[in-house]
Structure 1
């Protein structure tokens, strides 16, 4: 079947995580994504590490299915070249430093004045205007500014999340907004000027703790793996490790005590009858559960809990999660090409019944420079001159797009 975004072209001047995540989602849905990179090293994420058969793990994760064009945006010819690509595109995405796109002649207002049907997305740390607009915004810093770090960790120690949450949140909203803008344009012909702030995206994800703080005046406590408003909801000891149990209803409490742990008399203990009671007596509730769970192995208890319909999980390390039986049973892994090797990649979470995500190759730096520019009307002689002047780098002949 036809990929959902087939026929749409996205040009992106992007680096690191947030914008590349957004455009990778569009590429997975079938859009042509032309990634503009610096000739001297390209996207910063290329050099974060070399963990995936010589290619950076972040880069492999975020850049499959794109065409890499290496262009020097500091040169007049380079800027004109990218402007020409944008003139033929449906969407332009950028996450350069604040104000940089406008200084390069790639500001949203100027681009849309020339082409009102164009959809532009400016993805930044703190948004346009305001006292933080010019500040550098890395994921960890935005997590701190959004209050996420203050609620993550244990009572003794605050930590950032183990994944780049602020980057992912803003990248997701960016992709969502592009899809909405494309849908509107199909109906009306009208383009869009979109702005996405990492701070605002992360604060939106703060949901419950944010509204709780606003309406109670109390800072949400750090709970480790526990939950501030549900009990029992934590990690409990077993004879060979630990298990997570999350009881979100009074029926769940009844099943846990009566059907799994063999203590039906605790179901109607006045301290534990309702969730509000259990939260009010959290220490006693957790102690009662822990005294019973320690008599089972984690595997035994996990099976019993599943049979009784009580939510639970054994904490998996990343290696075990990658080999999760549910993913294997549902055939969720595919192989994608990088410039050095074929590697496994997880299918996107949204599954179309009639179309599988495109999952194209991860490009080498500049792998598509000449082919993309030839498609845009540049002659071979002109491309040779631009390459000799250092304006462009790479081509589809001597820079591998991906491994065989």
Structure 2
């Protein structure tokens, strides 16, 4: 039995943030009923057609769920929604600002309600539309990402994911609180707040350091050496976190023990200030060695390192293969290979039910509620 078996989650959701949260709950055993628009469904279904003719976003976010189509403005369909919420333990929604308030939903004492929005339920931005890129801009993340010459957004929807993760943890904490009090609760998660929390270090760096963190490409604005360094046949990424590791790098990998005590590089702050000089010296020392040799030396010295992989190379990652972290999941277009849930509940098989087709469970759910089928 998985931890959340017996918990019913009703989700008025679309795009990424709320579906990401509810998929985590579903992976842990919760029954998630996803409410979609008749005809079109969650608009993330149409973002692309790369996965057996289906959207990569939708396949990623919607396994282990049931889909029912409802026009929530129609009185008959609204009756179905009300009946579902009356049975639900958790209600999650990320509709447009004010949409759920206009519905006037009736809740019950034990219900946990998670509202996900772009900017929160009040304030001058409360009615402003919010998508991932736009929130990345408002939270300052785009100003931090990219190269000195050009800002960039993060390569994955970090604002959506951040909000989804806080909604997920919020539901878990609310379920725990309900076990003690017998009562549900309502909470709000704003994408701006969530991503702002993730940007905590650059916020403090800028507010109290007096300068914005520089855009450093694949390097780090406040740690050195930390990033890509050229070898004889490619590039190795190195991460040094403290002065002890810096000394080990100089002595055991670079063969330059003198650099460890050089005043320009003796502390992390000094190394960041002289990063260009340090990079040139590191690459000079690594120029005669292959990437494989450098990685071996780094591992032996206990220095963190990595190679930059493409997504295709990630899919064939030897660590994931050795730990059997892939499994097949059904979709309306055919099976896909999915990464198993990060929360590995020992001794219990993960739940890997198929991604639902639009409205696939409508008739069954209506019958369960004792309500008539779609007209």
The answer as to 2:29 corresponding to 1:27 is no
- Alpha-carbon separation, structure 2, partners of 1:341 and 1:77: 34
Identify the residue that residue 273 of structure 2 maps to in structure 1.
280
Across the aligned residues of Structure 1 and Structure 2, the Cα RMSD in angstroms comes to: 1.2
Corresponding residue of 1:207: 200
- Structure 1 segment 6-21 matched on structure 2, within 5 A: 6-21=5-20
Deviation per residue, 1:133-185 (Å, 9 max, x gap): 11110000000000000101111110000000000000000010001101111
TM-score when normalising by structure 1: 0.91
Q: Which deviations, in whole Å up to 9, do the C-alpha atoms of 1:87-109 show, x marking residues without a partner?
A: 01101111110011111223xxx
1:190-216 superposed Cα distances (whole Å, 9 cap, x missing partner): 100011100000000001101122222
Displacement after TM superposition at 1:74 (Å): 2.3
TM superposition shift of 1:77? 1.2
Q: 1:28, 1:360 within 8 Å by CA — same for their partners in 2? A: no
- The gaps in structure 2 that reach 5 residues or longer are none
Aligned residue number for residue 68 of structure 1? 67
CA distance in 2, matches of 1:62, 1:202: 19
Equivalent residue, structure 1, for 2:38:
39
Of 9-18 and 279-288, more deviation after overlay is shown by 279-288
The equivalent residue for 1:157 is 150
1:350 to 343, 353, 361: 343
Residue from 278, 283, 292 that aligns with 1:299: 292
Q: Name which of 213, 217, 227 aligns with 2:210.
A: 217
Comparing 342-351 with 208-217, which one deviates more in the overlay?
208-217
Give the whole-Å Cα distance in 1 for the aligned partners of 2:321 and 2:311: 15
- Given the alignment, which residue of 296, 314, 318 partners 1:325? 318
- Does 2:121 align with 1:128? yes
Secondary structure of the structure 2 residue equivalent to 1:267: helix
Unaligned 5+ segments in structure 1 are 389-404
SS in 2 for 1:23: helix
Match of 2:53 in 1: 54
Q: What does 1:71-220 align with in structure 2 at a 5 Å threshold?
A: 71-106=70-105, 111-112=106-107, 115-220=108-213
SS in 1 for 2:337: strand
TM-score (norm 2): 0.97
Q: For residues 260-307 of structure 1, what are the alpha-carbon distances to aligned partners after superposition, in whole Å with 9 as ceiling and x for unaligned?
A: 121222222222222232223222211111111222222221122112
Other structure's SS at 1:40 match: coil
**Shift in Å, 1:356:** 3.0
Q: Single out whichever of 221-230 and 22-31 deviates more from structure 2.
A: 221-230
Q: Deviating runs (4+, > 6 A) in structure 1?
A: none
Q: What is the deviation of 1:366?
A: 0.4
CA deviations on 1:78-137 (whole Å, 9 max, x unpaired) are 11211111101101111110011111223xxxx33xx12111111010011111111110
Map residues 228-377 of structure 1 onto 2, 5 A cutoff.
Answer: 228-377=221-370
| 1:346-365 deviation digits (Å, cap 9, x = unpaired) | 01111111323212110000
Aligned equivalents of 1:326, 1:196: Cα separation in 2: 34
Q: Write the distance in 2 (CA, Å) between the matches of 1:130 and 1:17.
A: 24
Contact 1:79 1:105 in 2 (8 A): no
Secondary structure of the residue aligned to 1:240 is coil
Q: Distance in 2 between matches of 1:86 and 1:8?
A: 12
Contact 1:79 1:104 in 2 (8 A): no
Aligned length: 375
1:226-274 per-residue CA deviation (whole Å, 9 max, x = no partner) reads 1122211121111222111111122212221211121222222222222
